[in-house]
Amino acid sequence: MRRNVSLVLICFIYVGLESSLVAAAAQTTSDAKNYPWSPDVPCKLNPAKPEGLYPAAYSNLRGLMVAHRVTQGINHSPERGNVHDTDGTVNGKAYTGAVDISVRCLTQAQIRTLLARLAAAGFAAWYRKDGQDGWSGPPHIHAIWAGCRLKSVLQQQVESWLDGTNGLGSNRPYQFWQASAEMKDKVSKLYRSFNWGPRGHRVKKKGSKCAADSD
């Protein structure tokens, strides 16, 4: 009798193990389908460089399974056109809300999907491609986390994104993709709560403090 009980137990454990393996495999397949940029999809990428990125931005990128593709967080280079310098401090450390994301191995359609997912999570993001929008350089996504105090140049970029323009000097309509009204609403609310004063004006002074991380 005792022996039977242990056999049944072993059987249960086996079935449990088997089904969790099947579930894990199914999960991987659905992740690959829903997140074609995820680490489960083979693609030779450089090591991630998320240093100095605002913590809530980073955790949101992890949730979107794209954190391993971050190629740039904070950058103190005085080079003209660098918008990744300090936006403020959080937990005593300098941060930026700007992040660059590798688009290696992704199709144009997948990049559009990624821009949409980023927007739905609270990022204003554009695909930068050599020769497009009067921009030159290696292809990547330039995104700005709207949920923290931003310096003036990034505030201007977020507002440009909300207007459907490219966030560059030309400030022309962005051709590659457009966010839905719902996505714009999400980014706008987040952005205003951290960057607009009580009288509905943009806070122009560089932030030295950011409120606690939101989601």
Interface with Zn ion (CB under 5 A): 100, 142
Question: CA 77, CA 175: separation in Å to the nearest integer?
Answer: 29
Burial string for 49-80 (b: 16+ CB within 10 Å, else e) reads ebebbbbbbbebbeebbbbbbbbbbbbeeeee
101 vs 162, beta carbon nearer Zn ion: 101
Of 84, 5, 26, the closest CA to residue 51 belongs to: 84
Question: CA 48, CA 69: separation in Å to the nearest integer?
Answer: 6
Residue nearest to Zn ion (CB): 142
Q: Looking at this protein, which amino acid is placed at residue 178?
A: Q
Q: Least CB distance from residue 213 to Zn ion, whole Å?
A: 21
Q: Least CB distance from residue 98 to Zn ion, whole Å?
A: 5
What residue has token string 């560059």? Answer: 168
87 vs 100, beta carbon nearer Zn ion: 100
56 vs 70, beta carbon nearer Zn ion: 70
Q: What 3-state class would DSSP assign to 113?
A: helix
68 vs 142, beta carbon nearer Zn ion: 142
Q: Least CB distance from residue 100 to Zn ion, whole Å?
A: 4
100 vs 133, beta carbon nearer Zn ion: 100
Q: Least CB distance from residue 84 to Zn ion, whole Å?
A: 6
